[in-house]
Amino acid sequence: MHIPPEDLVTLAADLPDLGRPVLVEMLDGFIDAGAARRLAREHLLSPGPGTVVASFDTDLLHDYRARRPPMMFVQDHWESYEAPALEIRALHDAAGTPYLVLVGPEPDVMWERFVAAVTLVVDRLGVRLTIGTNAIPMAVPHSRPTGLTAHGSRPELLEGYPPWVAQVQVPGSAGHLLEHRLATSGRDAMGFAVHVPHYLAQTAYPPAAEALIGSLSRATGLDLPVGSLPQLSSEAHESIAGLVAQSEELVELVRTLETQYDAVVATRAEALDAGGTVAGQSLPTAEELGAELERFLAEQGRKGDDPSQP
């Protein structure tokens, strides 16, 4: 049975006045090292859940046996069921400017038709720019500024974001496919992947979430809330520094990463000053990055199979 893209999405009956909004993709299901995307999404939604302007048919897109929704059993009956919801919500920044956020579980199937359905919404709502979000484990130290990899449909969107790797093959995602399809069809799209120290990838890392929201604000001109993230980031750095100091092995690891990081940053700066390219100066190498992402995904898969894992 063929299901056309327009049958996957339902627009709200009364759409608010959005002008030419930005759409931020923050789906669950792909790499989220340090829970940076989740933390950033929670802070964006903290003033309120916003207004649902589009909802997608999760019965057609979700694999329930792979990701079973939780149900609550109380004494002698089923009390509740948390149905997965894949939605586009309208929010407002601190200045009252509307913007859109795509939230919910990444579709398990029909990626092409899902992307086509999102594109229909993009055109219907007059979206001027779509931005994807990710957080990836990298061989970088926590003691240096949080970096990020930017990518997009036009070089003009990426000014001020020199590349970290020249070429790398990584597992695909619905969010990345959305950016790719929007770009090839001539629509403005970009994305940010914030760099999380690989030794902190399995724990919540607020500095990465703060950097992610900051990059969204700079790219869009929106005044996005960071809430308590600056304080949480400071507390995280203090806690990590204390833990590292207790292990000579960790001290040496961080020192090595700092030396490597500083050398690469210096080389990048020299290349930019000389008007050259920095694409060949990677931290880490493309092969190491791809392997690290594969390991991270494998670990997440094992945790999903074991309910006792956090």
The pLDDT score that the predictor gives to residue 294 is 55
Which residue is associated with the tokens 């500024």? 145
Give me the mean pLDDT over the 244-268 stretch.
87
Residue type (1 letter), 106: E
Which residue is associated with the tokens 């579980």? 105
Distances (CA, A) of 17 to 22, 98, 279: 13, 8, 42
Q: How does pLDDT run across 145-192, given as a tens digit for each residue?
A: 999 999 999 999 999 888 877 788 888 999 999 999 999 999 999 999
* Rounded distance between C-alpha atoms, residue 297 and residue 59, angstroms: 25
Give me the mean pLDDT over the 284-307 stretch.
52
Give me the mean pLDDT over the 23-41 stretch.
95
Residue type (1 letter), 251: V
* Rounded distance between C-alpha atoms, residue 52 and residue 89, angstroms: 4
* Rounded distance between C-alpha atoms, residue 157 and residue 214, angstroms: 15
* Rounded distance between C-alpha atoms, residue 206 and residue 37, angstroms: 10
Residue 278 pLDDT level (bands cut at 50, 70, 90)? very low
Query: Which domains does the chain carry?
Result: 5-305 (3.40.50.10900)
Whether 277 shows a pLDDT value over 50: the answer reads no
Q: Which of 286, 255, 220, 211 is nearest to 34 (CA)?
A: 211
Q: Any bridge partners for residue 71, and if so which?
A: 81
Above pLDDT 90, what percent of the chain? 70
Number of H helices, E strands in the chain: 8, 10
Above pLDDT 70, what percent of the chain? 86
The pLDDT score that the predictor gives to residue 131 is 98
Which residue is associated with the tokens 């913007």? 99
* Rounded distance between C-alpha atoms, residue 67 and residue 84, angstroms: 10
Residue type (1 letter), 119: T
**What are phi and psi for residue 226, nearest 5 degrees?**
-105, -10
